[in-house]
């Protein structure tokens, strides 16, 4: 029994009160050293699901993940956006150092499509990062997505309403964001393997707007709806909708 407990502690699967336990798998640097110091894996967790909770889109939440987007796309890894409430603006993303050829945007018809697309992408080892903006998500659905991220080994990030901060979640990491003057206030609500909570304020800098609400700007756009059971990676060409940059 003691060997099992030691193993669970090492893998950060066992809650240990106020003890901070670094999981064996290191995370992806956030680009914000003060935030990395608060995270048990010294960055965004791999093979796990993160929830970023906020009152509404457009408070600077994308700037929080830009350093990770730069790192992953520059190394040739695929980043998938699923049902973002805006269209990524290609020129600004490119100027931020993000390789557009490694970005895929998936447009879904409904909540069922969103859940299926998220699960398929998270389970696919070819997807290093999957970012989703689900409109509806039950706790059981979040559990499915957490298990999918563990199976695929990539990083999953869900952008959800701050109202969900009152509910429990099986996600590995939960952050609550709020806007501050030229900055972003981050409250650490939960991370696996640690009871410790923290809050910090991160400067956003002068990075330009990364999204364009009306004009499609990234050519790698895949349109739903999906036929259940058909893999996302081998999407039918009729589902692709290239748009002008």
Please tell me the distance from the alpha carbon of residue 172 to that of residue 30, in angstroms, as a whole number.
16
- Mean pLDDT value across residues 115-127: 97
More confident residue, 183 or 143: 143
State pLDDT tens for residues 76-96.
999 999 999 888 888 889 999
State pLDDT tens for residues 35-70.
999 998 899 999 999 999 998 888 889 999 999 999
Q: Which residues of 63-98 are buried (b: 16+ CB within 10 A; e: fewer)?
A: bbbbbbbbbbbeeeebbbbbbbebbbbbebbeebeb
Please tell me the distance from the alpha carbon of residue 223 to that of residue 239, in angstroms, as a whole number.
5
- Mean pLDDT value across residues 156-172: 94
**At 144, is the pLDDT very low, low, confident or very high (cuts 50, 70, 90)?**
very high
Domains and CATH numbers, the chain: 27-239 (3.40.50.300)
Closest-CA residue to 140 (of 176, 115, 173): 115
């Amino acid at each position: 029994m003691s060997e099992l407990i030691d193993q669970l502690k090492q893998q950060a699967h066992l809650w240990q009160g106020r003890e901070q336990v670094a999981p064996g798998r290191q995370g992806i640097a956030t680009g914000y050293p003060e935030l990395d110091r608060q995270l048990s894996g010294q960055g965004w967790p791999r093979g796990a699901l993160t929830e970023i909770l906020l009152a509404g889109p457009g408070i600077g939440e994308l700037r929080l993940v830009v350093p990770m987007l730069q790192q992953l796309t520059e190394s040739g890894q695929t980043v998938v956006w699923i049902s973002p409430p805006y269209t990524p603006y290609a020129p600004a993303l490119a100027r931020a150092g993000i390789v557009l050829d490694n970005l895929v945007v998936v447009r879904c018809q409904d909540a069922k499509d969103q859940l299926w697309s998220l699960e398929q992408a998270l389970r696919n080892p070819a997807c290093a990062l999957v970012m989703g903006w689900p409109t509806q998500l039950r706790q059981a659905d979040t559990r499915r997505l957490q298990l999918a991220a563990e199976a695929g080994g990539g990083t999953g990030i869900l952008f959800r309403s701050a109202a969900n901060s009152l509910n429990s979640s099986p996600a590995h990491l939960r952050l609550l964001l709020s806007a501050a003057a030229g900055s972003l206030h981050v409250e650490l609500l939960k991370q696996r393997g640690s009871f410790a909570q923290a809050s910090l304020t991160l400067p956003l800098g002068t990075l330009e707007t990364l999204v364009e609400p009306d004009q499609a700007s990234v050519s790698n756009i895949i349109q739903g709806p999906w036929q259940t059971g058909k893999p996302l990676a081998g999407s039918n060409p009729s589902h692709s909708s290239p748009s002008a940059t």
